[in-house]
Amino acid sequence: MTSSVPVPSYQECMSSGLSSKTYSNDMNSGRHEAERIVLNVGGIRYLTYKSTLETLPGTRLANLVDVWSSDTTNEFFFDRHPGVFEFVLNYYRTGKLHCPSNVCGPLFEDELDFWGIDELDVEPCCWTSFRQYKDAEETLAQFGKINSDVDQSRNPPQTLKQKIWALFDDPHSSVMAKVTAFVSLFFILLSITVFCLETHQSFHVSANVTELVTEDEYNAEEMVDEVIVMPALVIVELVCVVWFTFEFFVRFWCCPDILSFMKSFLNIIDLLAILPFYVEVGLIGLTHKPGVSLLGYLRVVRFVRILRIFKLTRHVLGIRVLGYTLAASVRELGLLLIFFALSMLFFATMMYYAENLTPSEDSTFSNIPVGFWWAVITMTTVGYGDMYPVTWLGMMVAAFCAVAGVLAFAMPVPVIVSNFSRYYSLAVTKHKLPKKKNNYKPQMREHSLD
């Protein structure tokens, strides 16, 4: 937004902080007073030359100079951030664009867009701090919906399906949603507890099971003893499955996009965790041998119920952010795996030849693939003790292997910790943002220069 004001006199320039020495130097430089232009940004006046603004063609100020006539005015007013404009004007003077440390990235980006300056012109020394906020926003937008949680809380659902969806999907939308999330979390922990207790002998009982046996083309039934899980645990598991089934189908019925719902990793886990239970219940009455074999196989695949632990990511923000952190640190983790694999191959080979230069009956390094196992447990500083060197040369190789393992794991840890801290603080801050009563958006008005 621009508007013209009367041309300042020399006395006004003196009162605004320009010394006589500065003024005389300007006159002695051969630049005519008509080439000088005053930019009033947010109430602060900046004095520069027309040639300075012409150094960046295509920008707002350069276009302003093209249509400027000294016969009309040489001062223009812009209702913009004066602190940022200091760096913008310095870019015209020096050709180097720096980012102020006391201004947030989105504000600086908006100011650059207003003045017609490309954000890619930011100097390398300021680029990391300038792009840090945008990298975090883009990562969170790709990996989850933390960004949309606040928007949903500020825009309350209207229809019945939207209200039910918010009740089961957004714990921060209402008090009832928090209660629902707590109930779901209780059943998840209860189901995992039952899954673990089913493997303990104290919760097993003996039962007589009838099986259908075929002998000489005749079918006969015989009673066999079978160890089954205590009925009380089965009832608890049934209650948990009923809740998970109810929750899954309610969310499926109320979801805004069915295709996106079915593609979600957590929703696929929900389906896989409850499906084997119903298939097992449907086959539990079978007595013929193929049916019994299939039932036994389904009982083996009960381990998929442990996948319910991933349902915690829907209710625990820290676990969800941890997943985003690992996904954002794929490059660092990939470099760790490559370095680890190369080190494993190198030290396993070195240990094999070091231990076999002088053959010994006590050596357990019979080949290089066996040394892979030793290299893994040594680099991770586990050291089970099932394999160890017996020669002094092998001991030296083992020492270097252990040190290399410590260094390999120490390198990516600071990056992962930094990513987690940044994403978690951003997610927590967005969840704690107060609701805005009015979303004010200023309307930009264009004024002519006349």
DSSP string across 176-207: HHHHHHHHHHHHHHHHHHHHHHTTSGGGEEEE
In DSSP terms, which residues pair with 205 in a beta bridge? 228
Same domain, 52 and 178: no
Q: Is residue 430 part of a domain?
A: no
> Hey, what amino acid is at 392?
W
Sign of the CA dihedral with 106 first, then 81, 119, and 123 last: negative
Does residue 103 sit in the same domain as residue 178?
Answer: no
Closest CA to 120 of 93, 91, 142, 140: 91
Domain contains 440: no
Say yes or no: 179 and 309 in one domain: yes
For tokens 């076999």, the residue is 356
> What confidence score (pLDDT) does residue 115 get?
93
The CATH number of the domain holding residue 39 is 3.30.710.10
Q: Is 362 within the bounds of a domain?
A: yes
114 and 14 within one domain: yes
What is the reported pLDDT for 205?
83
Residues 32 and 84 in one domain: yes
Residue 1 lies in a domain: no
pLDDT at 22: 43
Q: Check if the beta carbon of residue 221 is closer than 8 Å to that of residue 211.
A: yes
How many Cβ atoms from other residues are within 10 Å of residue 13's Cβ?
20
- Domain membership of residue 147 (yes or no) is no
Integer Cα distance of 429 and 172 in angstroms: 13
160-169 vs 175-197: helix crossing angle, rounded to 10: 50
Token pair listed for 4 = 């013209």
CATH number of residue 355's parent domain: 1.10.287.70
> Could you tell me if 304 and 222 lie in one domain?
yes
Q: Are 343 and 233 in the same domain?
A: no
**Same domain? 25 vs 84:** yes
**Spatial separation of the C-alpha atoms in residues 450 and 138, rounded to whole Å:** 43
Q: Largest alpha-carbon pair distance within the chain?
A: 122
DSSP assignment of 315-383 equals T-HHHHHHHHHHHHTHHHHHHHHHHHHHHHHHHHHHHHHHHHSS--TT----SHHHHHHHHHHHHTT--
Q: State how beta strands 36-41 and 75-78 pair.
A: parallel
* Distance between CA atoms of residues 80 and 89, nearest Å: 13
Q: Are 294 and 338 in the same domain?
A: no
Q: Report pLDDT for 165.
A: 86
309 and 179, same domain (yes or no): yes
Q: Kindly state whether residue 132 falls inside one of the protein's structural domains.
A: no
Q: Are 60 and 438 in contact (CB under 8 A)?
A: no
Tell me which residue has tokens 């809380």: 153
Query: Which pLDDT value is given to residue 390?
Result: 86
Question: Per the structure block, which two tokens stand in for 279?
Answer: 């298939």
Do 386 and 347 lie in one domain? The reply is yes
Q: Do residues 75 and 119 lie in contact, with contact meaning Cβ atoms separated by under 8 Å?
A: no
Q: What does the alpha-carbon distance between residue 172 and residue 159 come to, in Å, rounded to a whole number?
A: 18
Task: Name the stretches of the chain with pLDDT < 70.
Answer: 1-34, 68-73, 136-158, 208-226, 283-303, 360, 430-450
Residue pair 260/289 in contact (Cβ under 8 Å)? The answer is no
Number of structural domains (the chain) is 3
How many other C-beta atoms can be found within 10 angstroms of the C-beta atom of residue 429?
A: 10
Per-residue model confidence (pLDDT) at position 346: 95
Tell me how far apart the alpha carbons of residues 104 and 123 are, in angstroms, rounded to a whole number: 16
Q: Is 133 inside a domain boundary?
A: no
The answer to the question of residue 157 being in a domain is: no
The domain in which residue 228 lies consists of 172-314
Which of 314, 348, 380 corresponds to the end of one domain?
Answer: 314
Residues 373 and 284 in one domain: no
